[in-house]
């Protein structure tokens, strides 16, 4: 998993650096799960490296990003219940313990800045491919007691809205709020609020 | 110059509105939940004794949690904190209040918890303590004389009453009542040592054994032949302070040929 992550980071950066006018930046994000995952996963802080194509003065710019989020569970254990429909026909209580839950988001998208002033609103749309790696312990009384580890994926779309402020000719600060909506994947669709602050370095 | 200042103010205004909106949404996204917020919240509403050997436990869904209720149930034991698999009973989602009948034993204290499940897991109530008191003594609702039997309309004093586990032909405890100078014997079998209450005659010995019902009695009359008592009649039991047990009945029917003959009587077994 870590190898994939590193390769993707490097590829993304090389792809971005290959364009002379590309800008590089880093975002720190506060990610708040919405819907069912919110009951299992605490909000967390994630980091993403971003590359924006095009001149920094242009209104439309494409961006790619790679990052990492590590979620913590909201509880030490989660009560579960399993219906044993065989001869016994019983409701078997159990519990799950989430040992780890990490996400590598790979994003591709576009941003639009309507004003060329120092301070400007930014709107954008990104498509995400999430690699989700998690490990958990599953215990169902009289039936199951096992450790599980799984790697899943999900495709999501994230509209976003924010502000950017050009501090200097080489530095642009930004704050954005995105809403990532899971579309399809090998897990139940997951939705996040994502609040990001970051900077963009503008090369010569 | 004025136009430039105006545009600049418009941008600043737009940005300020955006900033406020973002702050609001950010605050909303920071709302912290736990799985307990998604689980059903349930409680025991009441426990009522409905017969000599069963109670009705009513649970109520206080909050269904974040999804629809799938199952409702209960568990009970003599342990103050029964677990979900202890004497488990459950039904599909019925309504906000659900009632389940459970068997119990007299002179016992039970702790019952109700639970409900949804797609997130299950919620289980605090234990509810209830005690099943000893049943009241039962007497046959007809005039009878102690230690006398009326067979075919003729009164007979009872000669001897023998009782105990050694006199059980089918159950675990039995008695033999000798009358008519020892020529006739009424026998009764119980599936446990009889206690206060009414017992119903099960006329089929095989069925009596397989029922293993603690409130059934098998009775037969031994004269020259053996006649089993017909199903459906009642034998009333009353426990006495000196540990003896009194039995009374208004009608026990047995068939001779095509005639149905009735017996009545009252006696005490030491």
CB atoms A75 and B36 under 8 Å: yes
Q: Which residues in A lie closer than 8 A to residue B19 (C-beta atoms)?
A: 163, 175
Q: Give me the residue from B18, B26, B90 closest to A121, CB to CB.
A: B18
| pLDDT on residue B160 | 95
Q: Which residues in A lie closer than 8 A to residue B35 (C-beta atoms)?
A: 39-40, 74-75, 78-79
* pLDDT mean over A85-91: 71
Rounded CA separation A40/B236 (Å): 59
pTM above 0.95?
no
The helix (H) or strand (E) run that includes residue A6 is: helix A2-17
In sequence order, the β-bridge partners of residue B116 are: B72, B123
| pLDDT on residue B29 | 56
CB atoms A30 and B121 under 8 Å: no
Q: Which residues in A lie closer than 8 A to residue B85 (C-beta atoms)?
A: 90, 92-93, 141-142
What rounded mean pLDDT belongs to chain A? 87
The pLDDT of residue A10 is above 60: no
Comparing alpha-carbon positions, the chain A residue that sits nearest to B24 is A177
* pLDDT confidence band for A84 (50 / 70 / 90): confident
Q: Which of A104-108, A175-179, A194-198, B7-11 has the lowest mean pLDDT?
A: B7-11
Q: Which residues in A lie closer than 8 A to residue B39 (C-beta atoms)?
A: 79
Interface-testing mutation among A31, A73, A77, A93, with chain B (most B C-beta atoms within 10 A) = A93
Comparing alpha-carbon positions, the chain B residue that sits nearest to A44 is B30
CB atoms A79 and B121 under 8 Å: yes
The 8-class DSSP code of residue B140 comes to -
CB atoms A163 and B19 under 8 Å: yes
Q: Which residues in B lie closer than 8 A to residue A120 (C-beta atoms)?
A: 11, 15
Q: Give me the residue from B26, B39, B73 closest to A91, CB to CB.
A: B73
**CA-based nearest distance B171→chain A, Å:** 29
Rounded CA separation B188/B219 (Å): 4
The pLDDT of residue A157 is above 60: yes
Contacts 24+ apart (CB under 8 A), B157-166: B158/B265, B158/B267, B161/B267, B161/B268, B161/B269, B161/B270, B163/B245, B163/B269, B163/B270
* pLDDT confidence band for A6 (50 / 70 / 90): low
A83: contact with B, CB 8 A cutoff:
yes
CB contacts < 8 A (A, B): 97
> Considering Cα of B186, then B204, then B259, then B198, what sign does the dihedral take?
positive
Q: How many CB atoms lie within 10 A of CB B75?
A: 23
Q: Give me the residue from B22, B34, B90 closest to A177, CB to CB.
A: B22
The helix (H) or strand (E) run that includes residue B4 is: helix B2-29
| pLDDT on residue B203 | 94
| pLDDT on residue A1 | 52
Question: Could you report the average pLDDT of every consecutive run of 10 residues in chain B (270 residues)?
Answer: 57 61 60 84 91 86 92 94 92 86 86 94 94 87 94 94 94 95 94 92 94 92 93 95 94 94 94
CB atoms B121 and A81 under 8 Å: yes
In sequence order, the β-bridge partners of residue B208 are: none
Interface-testing mutation among B28, B29, B116, with chain A (most A C-beta atoms within 10 A) = B29
- Nearest CA among A62, A78, A56, A195 for reference residue B19: A195
Rounded CA separation A192/A35 (Å): 9
pLDDT tens, A18-31?
Answer: 555 688 999 999 99
The pLDDT of residue A3 is above 60: no
* pLDDT confidence band for A117 (50 / 70 / 90): confident
| pLDDT on residue A191 | 92
The pLDDT of residue A107 is above 90: yes
CB atoms A81 and B122 under 8 Å: yes
CB atoms A93 and B83 under 8 Å: yes
| pLDDT on residue B36 | 86
Hey, which bits of B28-95 come out as E strands? Answer: 41-51, 54-63, 71-77, 89-92
| pLDDT on residue B12 | 60
ipTM of the modeled complex: 0.74
- Nearest CA among B245, B258, B261 for reference residue B184: B261
């Amino acid at each position: 998993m870590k190898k994939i992550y590193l390769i993707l980071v490097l590829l993304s950066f090389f792809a971005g650096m290959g364009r002379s006018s590309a800008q590089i930046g880093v975002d720190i994000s506060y990610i708040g799960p919405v819907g069912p995952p919110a009951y299992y996963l605490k909000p967390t802080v994630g980091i993403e490296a971003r590359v924006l194509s095009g001149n920094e003065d242009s209104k439309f710019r494409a961006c790619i990003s790679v990052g990492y989020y590590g979620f913590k569970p909201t509880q030490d254990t989660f009560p579960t219940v399993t219906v044993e429909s065989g001869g016994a026909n019983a409701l078997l209580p159990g519990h799950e313990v989430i040992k780890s839950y990490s996400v590598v988001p790979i994003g591709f998208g576009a941003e639009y800045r309507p004003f060329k002033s120092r301070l400007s609103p930014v709107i954008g749309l990104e498509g995400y491919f999430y690699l989700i790696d998690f490990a958990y312990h599953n215990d169902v009384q009289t039936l199951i007691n096992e450790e599980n580890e799984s790697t899943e994926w999900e495709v999501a779309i994230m509209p976003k809205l924010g502000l950017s402020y050009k501090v200097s000719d080489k530095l642009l600060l930004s704050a954005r709020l995105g809403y990532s909506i899971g579309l399809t994947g090998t897990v139940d669709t997951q939705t996040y609020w994502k609040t990001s602050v970051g900077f963009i370095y503008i090369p010569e | 110059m004025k136009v430039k200042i105006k545009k600049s103010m418009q941008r600043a205004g737009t940005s300020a509105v955006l900033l406020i909106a973002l702050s609001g949404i950010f605050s909303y996204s920071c709302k912290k939940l736990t799985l307990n917020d998604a689980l059903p919240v349930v409680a025991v509403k009441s426990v009522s004794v409905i017969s000599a050997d069963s109670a009705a436990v009513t649970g109520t869904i206080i909050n269904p949690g974040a999804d629809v209720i799938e199952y409702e149930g209960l568990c009970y034991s003599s342990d103050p904190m029964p677990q979900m698999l202890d004497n488990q009973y459950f039904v599909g989602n019925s309504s906000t209040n659900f009632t389940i009948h459970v068997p119990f034993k007299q002179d016992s204290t039970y702790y019952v918890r109700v639970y409900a499940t949804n797609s997130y897991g299950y919620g289980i109530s605090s234990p509810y303590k209830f005690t099943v008191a000893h049943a009241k003594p039962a007497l046959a609702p007809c005039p009878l004389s102690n230690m006398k039997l009326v067979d075919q309309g003729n009164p007979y004093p009872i000669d001897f009453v023998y009782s105990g586990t050694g006199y059980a032909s089918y159950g675990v405890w039995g008695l033999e009542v000798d009358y008519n100078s020892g020529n006739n014997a009424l026998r009764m079998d119980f599936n446990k040592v009889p206690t206060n209450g009414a017992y119903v005659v099960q006329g089929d010995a095989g069925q009596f054994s397989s029922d293993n019902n603690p409130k059934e009695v098998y009775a037969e009359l031994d004269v020259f032949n053996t006649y089993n008592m017909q199903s459906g009649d009642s034998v009333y039991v009353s426990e006495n302070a000196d540990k003896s047990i009194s039995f009374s009945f208004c009608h026990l029917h047995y068939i001779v040929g095509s005639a149905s003959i009735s017996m009545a009587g009252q006696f005490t077994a030491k």
